[in-house]
Amino acid sequence: MGFRHKDIIALKDLTREEITLLLDTADSLSEINQRDIKKVPTLRGKTVINLFYEASTRTRTSFEIAAKRLSADAVNITASTSSVVKGETLSDTANNLLAMKPDIIVMRHAVSGAHEYLAKRVSCSVINAGDGAHEHPSQGLLDMLTMRQKFGRLDGLKVAIVGDITHSRVARSDIYGLTTMGSHVFLAGPPTMMPVGIERLGNVTVCKDMREAVDQADVVMMLRIQLERQGKTLLPSMREYSRYFGLNPEVLTLAKKNAIVMHPGPINRGVELASSVADCDQSAILTQVENGVAVRMAMLYHVCGGEPVE
């Protein structure tokens, strides 16, 4: 099957077959990252603009490396160094960029829905690199790729997601993607950070505490506290959060022996994760980062029409 979407805005929009196609392509393209010369001509002549309205290190760098390994020309624009600081609207910025004939705009924006707004107004492809507390599809895909590489499947996995569910775009993309692929997601977090009705998104169970979520889990996904997205203080203290929702070696023993620990980064060591857990043999955090390049190569490849890879 071919990939029928001009844009990739949300995993909620993708079918099981389309997610499988993206993961299979990423698996195939990951071989390029192991070569001495890490470049193929697949997207030669294409222009990718990375438009980031929020600070990012790993996502922006990962998209830039992905574009360059496919031989596309990558241009990076951050809001602090663009005409946004002079009052230019998103629509005007998009129209000016479009006049330069890019093929793909990869955007991160603090407002949920900004990508859908942009995609309806430009003829080039738009890829969501994170919008507000809505979705982060490339992170969801690289998380699923990491799990599939470990277990050989996604169907039937128990995945515990712990932390600030309300403000986490990663959690939403993971929930949409994983439940579409047949996993069962167990959520735990402070009541002030658990959206009402979140269990209606799919095969999702909201647990009374973290231990219930982690018990016999195949994957334990810890989320970063999103202090920058909280309109008010939702926690009594970081110490209390760490006590009840931080992953330490004792709580990790409740998961299956071959369980993996994941985190979208950046890690608040000693808050969401004990350092000994972040660096243990079960940690797949750096594998997630490595898989990010392959997944983003697959996303760029498919929105450009999926020409043969040399």
pLDDT digits (tens, 9 = 90+) for 151-172: 999 999 999 999 999 999 999 9
Is 264 annotated in a binding site? The answer is no
Is 266 annotated in a binding site? The answer is yes
Sorting pLDDT into bands at 50, 70 and 90, what band is 84?
low
Cα(163)–Cα(76) distance, rounded to whole angstroms?
31
Count other C-beta atoms under 10 Å from residue 37's C-beta: 7
Q: At what angle do helices 58-69 and 137-151 cross, to 10 degrees?
A: 80
Is 148 annotated in a binding site? The answer is no
- Of the residues 5, 12, 58, 229, only one is catalytic, namely 58
| Same domain for 128 and 153 | no
Is 108 annotated in a binding site? The answer is yes
200 has a pLDDT exceeding 60 = yes
Q: Is residue 1 part of a domain?
A: no
- 303 versus 4: the higher-pLDDT residue is 303
Active site residue 136: yes
Q: Is residue 6 part of a domain?
A: no
Q: What is the mean pLDDT of the chain?
A: 92
Active site residue 121: no
- 237 versus 174: the higher-pLDDT residue is 174
Active site residue 58: yes
- Computed from CA positions of residues 83, 88, 90, 96, in that sequence, does the dihedral angle turn out positive or negative? negative
Measure the CA angle with vertex 101, ends 100 and 107; round to 5°.
90
Q: Is residue 92 part of a domain?
A: yes
- 290 versus 201: the higher-pLDDT residue is 290
Q: State the residue range of the domain holding 165.
A: 137-289
| CATH number of 218's domain | 3.40.50.1370
| Same domain for 196 and 114 | no
| Same domain for 235 and 299 | no
| Same domain for 78 and 123 | yes
- Of the residues 46, 60, 134, 136, only one is catalytic, namely 136
| Same domain for 100 and 21 | yes
C-beta separation of 176 from 135 below 8 A:
yes
Q: Is residue 4 part of a domain?
A: no
Is 166 annotated in a binding site? The answer is no
| Same domain for 280 and 152 | yes
Active site residue 239: no
Q: Is residue 170 part of a domain?
A: yes
| Same domain for 92 and 37 | yes
| Same domain for 145 and 115 | no
Q: Residue range 235-251: average pLDDT? A: 89
Is 68 annotated in a binding site? The answer is no
Active site residue 109: no
What is the b/e burial string over 173-187, where b = at least 16 CB atoms within 10 angstroms of the residue's CB?
bbbbbbbbbebbbbb
Q: Is residue 33 part of a domain?
A: yes
| Same domain for 66 and 142 | no
| Same domain for 282 and 150 | yes
| Same domain for 170 and 212 | yes
Q: pTM here?
A: 0.94
pLDDT on residue 88? 81
| Same domain for 97 and 170 | no
Q: Is residue 270 part of a domain?
A: yes
Domain count, the chain: 2
- Of the residues 46, 60, 69, 108, only one is catalytic, namely 108
Q: For residue 48, which phi and psi values (nearest 5 degrees)?
A: -115, 125
Taking CA atoms, 308 is separated from 41, 181, 302, 304, in Å, by 10, 26, 11, 11
243 has a pLDDT exceeding 70 = yes
Q: Is residue 192 part of a domain?
A: yes
Q: Which helix (H) or strand (E) holds 146?
A: helix 137-151
Q: Residue range 113-126: average pLDDT? A: 93
